[in-house]
Structure 1
Amino acid sequence: MKIVPVILAGGKGERFWPLSTPENPKQCLPIVSDQPMIVDTYNRLKDFDDFFIVANSFLCDKFRKLLPENVNYIEEPIARNTAPAIGLACITLLQKYGDCIVFFETADHYYEDISHYIKDIKNACTFASNHDKIVLIGITPKNPHTGYGYIKSGSNVENDLFLVDSFKEKPDLPTAQKYVKDGKYSWNSGMFIGKSSVILHEIEKSLPSLFSGLQNIKEGDFSKEILHDEFSKFEKISIDYGVLERSNETVVLQSTMPWDDIGDFNAVSRILKPDSEGNFSKNPIHSLDAHGNIIISKKLVALIDVEELIIVDTKDALLICKRSESQKIRDIIRKYNN
């Protein structure tokens, strides 16, 4: 059965401000490598015959300047979170190819071992092609991370595949420590794989109004007018909350591949190698008694007797904050934008 990777690339990247802006969001930036994140994502999956990206028209135009011409785009008229975006992708692919295996990935993941990543994805695709199940990619936790949701595994299906027992919201530290010790919990990576028909059937069961709108889009030959009209009616809802957490047709592949979600500046410290004083920067810095700082700047930055700071310098803005308070970056954006 044909396998089609679909990249969800419509995020704003607010937690990477001021590096990431609405005009140039993090997907278009070289955060942890020398390439924009969307290019790294494409390069991991370019050996598949077809490759699709879901985003708004503005971002799709930016991606066209960064990626080869053979990339396909599905343009969202209005942002409505992941459930409508994924539903639109599934009806588009079903119309184009007939039933196929769809692998949903995002543009902000980092993988240290690409061969391990591809092996696990192909194993999940093989299972999905032989069963009417949706395969979630869970990551065996390396530490009690409080920034990820968790998936609890039930009974074993085969090899590293288990029935999904339940989903857990982002836990506090004591709860995360229990999850890691228990051994039945995986980080919810957000990746999942299934037949386009199976995913649409689960949408129909859990979100019938969304499914009805998707059918209207298909029957209207995907015209821009009908697409915009239906999307304007869709509820803003994630695929996890709206569909996957309500489904009885999910399994989880417990993967040990080295994985990271590049969700905020602290992710930089998990990927870049520190200097002799434990600071993280892609460019040279000068430091004296300064430890654990994350610096993103094209200028030379000198640090004296400071620790655990995030310092981001761009042509338009300068950000300085404690690493422990990085979640407040979105708050300051919203405070001054309003």
Structure 2
Amino acid sequence: MKKKDFYALILAGGSGSRLWPLSRALMPKQLLSLNGERSLLQQTVLRALKAFSPSNIVIITNEEHIFEVKNQIKDICNEDKIGVVAEPMGRNTLPAVLVGLDSSKKPEESVFAVFPSDHQVEDEDAWVEDLFIGYDLAKKGWLVTFGIKPHKPETGYGYIKVGPSLKEEGFKVERFVEKPTLEKAKKFLSDGRYYWNSGMFVFEGKLFLQEIEKQQPELWSFWERRKESPLLANYSKFPDISIDYGIMEGAQNVAVVPASFGWDDLGSWEAIYRLGDKDEQGCVIRGDVLALECENSLLFSYGSKLAAVGLKDLIVVQTRDATLVIPKSQVQKVKDVVKALKQKDKHLVEAHLTVRRPWGSYTILEEGEFYKIKRIEVKPGAKLSLQMHYHRSEHWVVVKGTAEVIVEDKVVLLTENQSIDIPKGCKHRLSNPGKVPVEIIEIQSGPYLEEDDIVRFEDIYGRKK
């Protein structure tokens, strides 16, 4: 059933801010396990492997997430043929798709399916069948999208109004509709000709590029010059624009296939509650939670004990450094919380206390105005960059394993309970030459302790900042 000219472009660059405090900029929702043991990205990749050859799958993410994306793929299928492309910065879905097309061997001769990495799909076999209906329509000259039959007046999705029938294959799209008011959403539901826009597409590369040339001449100019000047090198100059607004809404030959599979974008805590497994009191519980006399609530705790008594119709999500408490009916306001935090407590929307890196991870244990204490774990055979800091000094204590430390021209091997000082301004590097993880406690001191006070001289992972 798999076709040689059919490619999957998986979009994995979003931030998922509506699922704060669990979803953060450095660990967004597509990389989290929200509805099972595997992350949403892992579920998406495994689903894609049912319809596409591994070498025909490309994941478009960003530079901050590329190593975590690769690690998650390796954890589920050890498949090195799946492509991963890193955007240097976010530029919405249309530029991401253009980069995905460029990563394929013959974009003008191929058909592409585009879909997000953070959706939940029930009945994956039906999803595959619908994709191939889209493939057949694309071969006939249609730009194809997939519509979800609404079951409630939803104001958080865009809509598609269908026009004439294309027999059993779908409908011609009459128009796209932006996210409506509640009153309009109720009318759309009763009308019966409106579908939720799923954000999934299928099209021939040749036709899609023709639409870019027609509708987005600025992007087309970069595409034409891509061999002399690569797309990613010019990415900061790309317009910030979506596929829907940039191409689909202005094209004439757009078709919609009504989805025969169950779908949800898991875009809010209300959706996580609605789709979660509930106990006898209607509660969805995960983590170390003690719930007494609670009803119809979502109670999540990651890293500490959460005791809840007498709660009803609430969302409570607790991490080690932040807690969200909000009525289920007001979950759309989480975005307002994130917006407010960006003004005063930006670190709370950027990263968790534990941050994963290609060499391992670090966890912030405690911090004050002029000090920060971390636990650092380095995987066997891994090494941090050769670096230095302008504003901080560091003191390292090895608590597990054997560490190789370079300070200027000096190389030292440290084992458990041994320590070393790293003065500010000195080039240094931490490596793990052994076969077990190395754990160290790092004590930073100085007037500025943020992660951007790192000057890299050499990095085996290709990072520059």
Aligned residue identity for 1:62: E
The residue type equivalent to 1:158 in the other structure is K
What is aligned with 1:92?
A: 103
Q: Aligned partner of 2:195: which letter?
A: S
C-alpha deviations, 1:148-184, integer Å up to 9, x for none?
1110000011214111001111122232222122211
Q: 1:112 to 1:232 in 2, by over 3 A?
A: same
Give, in angstroms, the shift of residue 92 of structure 1: 2.9
Structure 2 residue 123 is the aligned partner of structure 1 residue 117: no
Correspondence for 2:239 among 225, 235, 238: 235
TM superposition shift of 1:91: 3.1
Instruction: Give distance in 2, aligned partners of 1:249 and 1:74.
Output: 29
- Per the alignment, residue 80 of structure 1 pairs with 91
How high is the TM-score relative to the length of structure 1?
0.92
Equivalent residue number for residue 248 of structure 2: 244
Q: How far apart in 2 are the matches of 1:218 and 1:253? A: 35
Q: Which amino acid aligns with 2:219?
A: L
Tell me, in whole angstroms, the C-alpha distance in 1 between the residues paired with 2:227 and 2:329: 47
The range that moved more, 189-198 or 62-71, is: 62-71
Q: Distance in 1 between matches of 2:280 and 2:32?
A: 27
CA deviations over 1:168-223 (Å, ceiling 9, x no partner): 11122232222122211111000000011111111111111111112222443x3x
Q: Distance in 1 between matches of 2:179 and 2:112?
A: 27
Superposition deviation, residue 96 in structure 1: 4.3
Give the C-alpha shift of residue 12 in structure 1.
1.0
Residue identity opposite 2:135 in structure 1: C
Equivalents in 2 of 1:284, 1:60: separation in Å?
Answer: 31
Letter matched to residue 69 of structure 1: D
- Structure 2: distance between partners of 1:78 and 1:216: 20
Contact 1:140 1:256 in 2 (8 A): no
1:205 corresponds in structure 2 to 214
For 1:82, the aligned partner's letter is T
Whether 2:341 is the aligned partner of 1:336: answer yes
Aligned-partner Cα distance in 2 for 1:336–1:286: 28
Q: Which residue of 2 aligns with 1:262?
A: 266
Quote how far apart the aligned CAs of 1:80 are: 0.8
Displacement, 1:98? Answer: 4.9
Residue 274 in structure 1 maps to residue 274 in structure 2: no
Q: Does residue 173 of structure 2 align to residue 164 of structure 1?
A: yes
Q: 1:283 to 1:227 in 2, by over 3 A?
A: closer
Which residue matches 1:134? 143
Where do 1:1-338 residues align within 5 Å? Answer: 2-47=5-50, 48-49=52-53, 50-67=56-73, 68-93=79-104, 95-96=105-106, 98-129=108-139, 131-220=140-229, 222=230, 227-228=232-233, 230-283=234-287, 285-298=289-302, 299-338=304-343
Would you say the 8 A contact 1:90–1:199 is kept in 2? no
* Letter of the 1:30 counterpart: S
Q: Which runs of 5+ in 2 are unaligned?
A: 74-78, 344-465
Percentage identity across paired residues of the two chains: 33
Distance in 2 separating the partners of 1:143 and 1:38: 27
Aligned-pair CA distance for 1:283: 4.5
Residues of 1 paired with 2:228 and 2:100: CA distance?
15
Q: Which shows bigger deviation, 276-285 or 238-247?
A: 276-285
Worse overlay, 286-295 or 165-174: 286-295
| Contact residue 66 and residue 86 of structure 2 kept, 8 A | yes
Task: Kindly indicate whether the alpha-carbon contact (under 8 Å) linking 1:91 and 1:196 is maintained by their aligned counterparts in 2.
Answer: no
Shift of 1:39: 0.4
| Deviation for aligned residue 1:293 | 1.2
Q: Which amino acid aligns with 2:6?
A: I
Partner letter of residue 122 of structure 2? E
Provide the C-alpha distance between the structure 1 equivalents of 2:341 and 2:125, rounded to a whole number of angstroms: 44
Distance 1:284 1:78, change over 3 A: closer
CA displacement at 1:286 relative to structure 2: 4.1
CA distance in structure 1 between the partners assigned to 2:201 and 2:258 by the alignment: 12
Q: How far does residue 300 in structure 1 lie from its aligned partner after superposition?
A: 5.0
Distance, in Å, in 2 between the alignment partners of 1:91 and 1:11 is 20
Q: Distance in 2 between matches of 1:288 and 1:172?
A: 37
C-alpha displacement of 1:113? 1.0
Equivalent pairs, count = 331
Report the aligned-residue RMSD: 1.8
**Whole-angstrom distance in 1 between the partners of 2:17 and 2:225:** 33
* Greater percentage in helix: 1
Q: 1:24-83 CA distances to partner (integer Å, 9 max, x unpaired)?
A: 221111011110111000010113112110111221221111103221012212211111
Alpha-carbon distance, 1:138 to partner: 0.5
Q: Secondary structure at the match of 2:179?
A: coil
CA, structure 1 residues 75+96, in 2 after alignment: closer, same or farther (shift >3 Å)?
farther
The TM-score with structure 2 as length reference comes to: 0.68
- Structure 1 residues 147 and 291: alpha-carbon distance in aligned structure 2, compared to 1, 3 A threshold: same
TM-superposed deviation, 1:11: 0.4
Q: Which amino acid in the other structure matches residue 335 of structure 1? A: A
Q: Which has the higher strand share?
A: 2
Q: Distance in 2 between matches of 1:30 and 1:78?
A: 25
State whether residues 160 and 255 of structure 1, in contact with CA within 8 Å, keep that contact through their aligned partners in structure 2.
no
Conservation of the 8 A alpha-carbon contact between 1:91 and 1:218:
no
